[in-house]
């Protein structure tokens, strides 16, 4: 009996977009109170998991400054959140990334 195996879906951003896996905050308790998921702030840090080829400018491809594996800080309300195979990622333009962390 053959069984179907679940393959890991890959993301290939277009132009100057990057795919970021947001860093999950650990459950926090302030003063002994439980903070529900709906009240937590959205994460603004994450790891780059895929990078597009870069934007075209005057017929030339402008290379991306970010690379896969970089840890970045991005705007709180930027990009599009997408859920792929039980994993949430954020797709944003490279220009919306505020900083690269070391």
Q: Higher model confidence: residue 70 or residue 3? A: 70
Class of domain 17-23+42-101: mainly beta
Q: Does the pLDDT value for residue 1 go beyond 50?
A: no
- Whether pTM > 0.85 for this model: the answer is no
- Per the CB < 8 A criterion, the answer to whether 24 and 43 are in contact is yes
H-helix or E-strand containing 1?
Answer: none
pLDDT, position 25: 59
Q: Give the residue among 41, 43, 98 at the shortest CA–CA distance from 72.
A: 98
Distance CA 55, CA 41 (A): 31
Residue pLDDT, tens place only, 8-64: 778 899 999 999 999 875 455 556 666 666 655 666 899 999 999 999 999 999 999
Residue 47 burial (CB count, 10 A): 15
What tokens were used for 37? 């998921």
Domain boundaries, the chain: 17-23+42-101
Residue pLDDT, tens place only, 86-99: 888 999 999 999 99
């Amino acid at each position: 009996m053959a069984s179907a195996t679940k393959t890991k879906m890959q993301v290939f951003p277009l132009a100057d977009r990057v795919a970021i896996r947001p860093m999950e905050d650990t459950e926090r308790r302030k003063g002994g109170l439980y903070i529900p998921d709906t009240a937590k702030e959205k994460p603004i840090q994450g790891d780059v998991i895929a990078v597009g080829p870069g934007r075209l400018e005057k017929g030339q491809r402008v290379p991306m400054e970010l690379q896969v594996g970089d840890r970045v800080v991005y705007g709180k309300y930027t990009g599009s959140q997408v859920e792929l195979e039980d994993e949430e990622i954020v797709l944003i333009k490279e220009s919306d990334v505020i900083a690269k962390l070391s």
